[in-house]
Structure 1
Amino acid sequence: MKASDLVRMANQITDYFCIYPKAEAVDGISKHIQSSWEPRMRNALKAHIDAGGEGLSPLFLEAMTDYFKGPKSPVKAAAR
């Protein structure tokens, strides 16, 4: 898939979620990419972002920065 197609789809997803509060929008974008895009598309998207992310909206880039860091695990309390 061409990068221009990924950018177009990514920005459409962002347009849908941009009406939500920022935290919800970032979460919604990330969840949509995870649940709806196949691994090859996510890998191509990551490569495009690593090459500068030309054309992607700032909100989408923010969501993907968190997404590509991986899941957040809760901090466990130290044993006493």
Structure 2
Amino acid sequence: MSVDHPDGLRSTYEPVTATVTAGSAVTAGDPLGVLQAGHPGCPVAACLHWGVRRDRLDHLDPLVLLRPPGVRLLPWEGAAPG
């Protein structure tokens, strides 16, 4: 799955089954799809591969785009209290 951003960047997410249709407009926080489990090389139940690129061959480190504000983890509604 890929998302084209107004600044010319494209973010990619895999293995994801889209819950939005190609060409749909999305905003920050909108669910894009469902992470699929069980692909080769993933040491746990499911691994998300996230990438960012400018043009076809200019790949960027996606973590650089998070600074600031950084990563913020939210509680999962199904998680046991701890």
Bucket of the pairwise TM-score, normalised by the shorter protein:
under 0.3
Q: Which has the higher contact order (CA 8 A, sep 6+)?
A: 1
TM-score, with structure 2 as normaliser: 0.25
TM-score, with structure 1 as normaliser: 0.25
Higher strand share: 2
Higher helix share: 1
